[in-house]
Amino acid sequence: MANVVVVGAQWGDEGKGKIVDWLSERADVIARFQGGHNAGHTLVIGGQVFKLSLLPSGIVRKGKMAVIGNGVVLDPWSLFSEIDKLAAQGVEISPENLMIAENTPLILPLHQDLDQLREEAAGKAKIGTTGRGIGPAYEDKVGRRTIRVADLADEETLDARLDRLLAHHDALRQGLGATAVNRAELRAKLLEIAPKLLQYAQPVWKVMNDYRKSGKRILFEGAQGSLLDIDFGTYPYVTSSTTMSGMAATGTGLGPSAIGFVLGIVKAYTTRVGEGPFPTELEDADGQRLGERGREFGTVTGRKRRCGWFDAVLVRQTCAISGVNGIALTKLDVLDGFKTLKICTGYEIDGTRYDYLPTAAALQAKVTPIYEEMEGWEESTEGARSWADLPAAAIKYVRRIEELIQCPVALLSTSPERDDTILVTDPFAD
């Protein structure tokens, strides 16, 4: 049986949460390996809505182990407020079903401050971040001055870490016109939350390797999307982590051979939140209709998502980079009732045709999408649970996408509800 990695193949919000929840019925362990509480994953189970940010979507099922790996950046206060919110919805969370890697870096209030100060200072050139401190927290990790979960267990270590961290942040804050960090207050806050957090701390790399040896099925849950990847995304309008499939291994402490099937989650059209290039963006009635039918508002910030036609160039590119074996195509139902649909099959830049998105920002800004038109369908696909329920034009649209992105559809989703999902190929099957 293969372990499965789920990654977003566009700009995030592809429906990863729904698919991870659906797949987790057949998994033993569900692990997050990058990102933080910038993610917003919505699950709808029998009409009940669960919104998850940091916790793996498998947490809502009983008897599964949820893991937060070292590749994540973790805001402990936000974690416990999410745990409390879920408890109020009847989901019990304890060290029995959640563990956190000891070497996970923390997001502190000073990271959130810096994220927001920088966005304000950037004015029009802002990234449009979620303002949660994700970028600054990753900077401190690679800058070797972060505080990690295990550091909370020893006051002497914590003090040394705080000294190094605040020397850096106070200088930055001064430059941005903000006051210095209140060290005593931050220290007290950290020591207060330490025992609560430490009860979940584990050498995750070791436990995961044991799970692997004993044949447990692992489902890795990616956050964000491939076009927000720090290396391969539309830089600098990206997030600060590696969102590609390879990160599942280093973000939890397993070797790359632990990754079996890579499932790319792909929305049947395109959306993006925040700033940055978006070749197929629609600012007309079609874009408006996609946003309304797809309820395209961010889970985390409530911002309106920008909407556009399906871009096969970008998805072919991200599927190649993540080594996607099959895709889960979501939100097909949102396209019901469109007379015609457009798919972007290539780009034209300064009279030259491209079959990929070039890296140079100056070229990205000049992309003209080349479209192919397809006939839409009048019938409803909402809630369809088998191919036989799909109109011929919808099947044609799906088949054309497979052809253009050079990757087969393994799953198809036709509503937010868990069970409105069509299985074509089982990703867990070897």
Find the part of the chain contacting ligand GDP (CB under 6 A) among 37-45, 337-345, 358-366, 387-395.
37-45
Q: Could you tell me if 270 and 313 are in contact, meaning their C-beta atoms sit under 8 angstroms apart?
A: no
Hey, is 147 helix, strand or coil?
Answer: coil
Is 169 tagged catalytic?
A: no
Which of residues 40 and 133 has its CB atom nearest to Mg ion in the complex? 40
Decide which of Mg ion, ligand GDP, ligand IMO, none touches 334; Cβ closer than 5 to 8 Å per partner kind: ligand GDP
- Contacting residue, 11, 13, 282, 411, with Mg ion by CB under 5 A: 13
Cα distance between the two ends of the chain: 5
Name residue, tokens 């309106």: 304
Nearest to 21 by CA among 319, 284, 232, 221: 221
Q: Does residue 366 have an active-site annotation?
A: no
Q: Which of 15, 35, 36, 40 binds Mg ion (CB under 5 A)?
A: 40
Q: Decide if 85 is catalytic.
A: no
Question: Which H or E element spans position 317?
Answer: helix 312-322
Question: Is 239 among the annotated ligand-binding positions?
Answer: yes
- Separation in Å, CA 350 to CA 280, 344, 361, 364: 17, 17, 14, 11
Q: Give the C-alpha separation, 346 to 365, whole Å.
A: 15
| Strand-pair category, 218-221 with 29-32 | parallel
CA distance 350 to 75: 45
Tell whether residue 323 is among the known ligand binding residues: no
Token pair listed for 299: 């889970």
Of 40-48, 262-270, 317-325, 404-412, the window that binds Mg ion (rule: CB under 5 A) is 40-48
415 labeled binding residue: yes
Q: Give the whole-angstrom CA distance, residue 116 versus residue 137.
A: 13
Please tell me whether 128 is known to bind a ligand.
Answer: no
Q: Which two tokens stand for residue 351?
A: 């009279």
**Smallest separation, CB 126 to ligand IMO (Å):** 9
Q: Is the dihedral of CA 396, 4, 13, 369 positive or negative?
A: negative
Q: Of 38 and 70, which has the nearer Cβ to ligand GDP?
A: 38
By CB under 6 A, residue 14 contacts ligand GDP: yes
Reduce the DSSP state of residue 354 to 3 states and report it: strand
Q: How far is the CB of 155 from ligand IMO (least distance, A)?
A: 31
305 is known to lie in a ligand binding site: yes
Instruction: Determine the 3-state secondary structure of 78 from DSSP.
Output: helix
- Kindly indicate which of the ranges 35-43, 162-170, 195-203, 236-244 contains the residues binding ligand GDP, using the contact rule CB under 6 A: 35-43
Selecting among 21, 37, 41, 115, the annotated active-site residue is: 41
| Residues annotated in a binding site for substrate | 299-305
Residues contributing to the annotated binding site: 12-18, 38-42, 130, 144, 224, 239, 299-305, 331-333, 413-415
Active-site amino acid positions: 13, 41, 141
Which residue ranges make up the site for ligand GDP (CB under 6 A)?
8, 12-18, 40-42, 44, 299, 330-331, 333-334, 413-416
Residue ranges in contact with Mg ion by CB under 5 A: 13, 40
